[in-house]
Amino acid sequence: SWCDLEDIIGVSIRQIEDSLENRQLTVEIDESLPPVQVDELLMEQMLVNIMSNAAKYSADKTRITLSAYQKGDHIEISVQDKGIGVPLNELDHIFDKFYRLKSDARVPGTGLGLAIAKGIVKAHGGTIWANQNQDQGITVFISFPVGK
């Protein structure tokens, strides 16, 4: 159905409030975002999976920035952290099921969060990818069509 993306983002942030602890969260949402044709619960789950990684793989008090913009007939959402980052040659693999970086043995996880996020984005006809930041951490991008 047609949903308000700002509401979806709000709900997903509230769901991970506890794991965000004292990260500094910045949320930048395009003021004129159109309604989007998505499954609300799945979109919330997708954002929870990405945002919880940003918290889990970064240190206390670092900044996490979530942005949502319209780009033509697509919406682009990005989640940037200042965390431990991902080596360039593993950036594509983090979306594979059960894939975890070796350095993560200390942090518990199944390696499914991003595979599930990718499945959800694909179901909406979108794409998901990640880049290294200039300084520290990674940014995960999601792009999906507004709807028909």
Q: Which is nearer to ligand ATP, 24 or 110 (CB)?
A: 110
- Tell me the C-alpha distance between 13 and 29, whole Å: 13
Handedness of CA 31, 19, 45, 106 (dihedral sign): positive
Task: State the number of binding residues for ligand ATP (CB under 6 A).
Answer: 22
Query: Binders of ligand ATP among 64-93, rule CB under 6 A?
Result: 81, 83-86
From Mg ion, ligand ATP, none, interface partner of 86 (C-beta below 5 to 8 A by class): ligand ATP
Taking CB under 5 A as the binding criterion, the range among 84-92, 96-104, 111-119, 129-137 that sits at the site for Mg ion is 111-119
Query: Binders of Mg ion among 27-66, rule CB under 5 A?
Result: 53
Q: Which is nearer to Mg ion, 27 or 107 (CB)?
A: 107
Q: Which one among 83, 85, 113, 126 touches Mg ion, defined by CB under 5 A? A: 113
- Tell me the C-alpha distance between 104 and 44, whole Å: 25
- Residues lying near ligand ATP in the complex (CB under 6 A) are found at 49, 53-54, 57, 81, 83-86, 94, 99-101, 104, 109-115, 138
